[in-house]
Amino acid sequence: MTGLTYAVGDIHGCAEALDRLIDVIDRHGAGRRRRLVFLGDYVDRGPDSAGVIARLRSLEAREPGFVTCLMGNHESLMIDAGRRGPGTTTWLENGGTTTLASFGISDPEALPRDVLGWLSGLPTVHEDAQRYFVHAGFRPGRLGIDPDVATRLWIREPFLGTDFDFGKHVVHGHTPQRTGRPDLRRHRSNLDTACVFGSALTAAVFTDERAAPAEILQVGARP
């Protein structure tokens, strides 16, 4: 085993659970070379979106080149709200008010510019030799990365209901599994285990030997 990749599902403001999961990952890796891939939806609904973003940016600074944070649909909505775009009301109704509270503000236009700049620069897909990492998924019917950015951020069907081989294993989140168990399929792995709804925060461990997860690490939504 030459290296490990840890992919982390939707966090949604659960900063305390993220801290505990990073501690679990650190112990599991035990000094081995590793990459961290976060699958998006860091903000909204949970109590400390500001803390989640700060933690992720700190990890990026501590491990430059080995931490990839993907954009999720909630980050996209937050960026739009910060510009007073047409999605502002949608964002506020879907957890944006708790995100504002975590920053100590009530007006989306007061969101920190550096935070919005960081969010705006996030990629929507990451690829390694055996896997595609994306927030929501791709449209079935063609090999490779879906060129449509909105699809990568928002799709559910027909992606979830079609056992399609995109040429690499697709690792995603976006659709919460309220059982607290990741949805592991032949051609895809859904790691959103509904932490913000009281279930668990999940990291899948990937190795060079196979495309599917070699191991699943989890922490409960509360200690």
- Domain range annotation of the chain: 4-220
CATH fold of 4-220, please? Answer: Purple Acid Phosphatase; chain A, domain 2 (3.60.21)
The pLDDT score that the predictor gives to residue 85 is: 87
Which band of pLDDT confidence, cut at 50, 70 and 90, is reported for residue 32?
confident
Whether residue 168 is predicted with pLDDT greater than 50 in this model: the reply is yes
Query: Is the peptide bond between 86 and the residue preceding it cis, with omega within 30 degrees of 0?
Result: no
Average pLDDT over the chain reads 96
What average pLDDT does range 92-118 have in this prediction? 97
Residues 192, 199: Cα–Cα separation, whole Å: 10
CB of 96 within 8 A of CB of 65?
A: no
Rounded to two decimals, the pTM is 0.97
The pLDDT score that the predictor gives to residue 128 is: 97
The pLDDT score that the predictor gives to residue 1 is: 43
The pLDDT score that the predictor gives to residue 2 is: 64
Residues 72, 40: Cα–Cα separation, whole Å: 4
> Within a 10 A sphere around the Cβ of 5, how many other Cβ atoms?
25
Say what angle helices 49-62 and 113-120 make with each other, to 10 degrees.
60
Which band of pLDDT confidence, cut at 50, 70 and 90, is reported for residue 223?
low
> Within a 10 A sphere around the Cβ of 125, how many other Cβ atoms?
18
Alpha-carbon dihedral of residues 52, 54, 59, 61, nearest 10 degrees?
160
Residue with tokens 């032949």: 186
Over residues 119-160, the pLDDT tens digits come to: 999 999 999 999 999 999 999 999 999 999 999 999 999 999
